[in-house]
Amino acid sequence: MTTETPTTHLARTTPRGAELVGAGLVALGVSVLVALLATLATGPAAGVGAMAGGSIALVFFLAGSVLVGAVAASQPQLAMLVALLTYTLEVLLLLVVFVALDRAEVFPTAAERGWVVAGLLGCTLAWTAGHIRATTRLRIPAFEGSRSRTREQTVSGS
């Protein structure tokens, strides 16, 4: 008899901390590079805008991945529903954030607003690439065998 609790295939293959940290570090690095480029090209306000765009994207992606991963680990049958709802909610919240930034005139010039979008897009692409790389490196078994069956039982078909 074993005390190991059974886990589903989905729960073992959902993103864990290392994958999220890896994707997050790649996205943060790209956000910093875009902010440096914005600062050199347009000025410090544009650099702040680029970093703000990257930070907004990073917070949204981390929160969404953690939420979907937690649901997939505890309720695998709800994982796709939660993933789709999380994505929809993130898109709507991004719209709200950008409308609020525009109305508050936090970034008054078109160049600064452009760098906010550049930071967001750079972070998004970097997160996606980092997440794909981390996910493809997961070791996912093609099938699961019963641990309680012996090799002889498996061969004989019992």
pLDDT in tens, 34-45: 999 999 999 999
Closest to 15 measured CA to CA, from 59, 56, 73: 73
The tokens for 154 are 């498996």
Give the C-alpha distances (Å, rounded to integers) separating 47 from 32, 118, 119, 151. Answer: 9, 10, 9, 62
From the first residue on, what is the mean pLDDT of each consecutive set of 10 residues in the chain (158 residues)? 51 61 90 96 95 95 91 92 94 92 90 94 93 80 61 56
pLDDT at 135: 78
Distance (Å, whole) CA 145 – CA 158: 14
Report the chain's terminal Cα–Cα distance, integer Å: 20
Q: Where exactly are the structural domains of the chain? A: 14-137
Q: How would you class 77 by CB atoms within 10 Å of its CB: exposed for 0-12, middle for 13-18, buried for 19 or more?
A: exposed
Would you state the pLDDT for residue 90? 92
Beta-carbon-side half-sphere exposure of residue 158 (alpha carbons within 13 Å) = 7
Global pTM exceeds 0.85? no
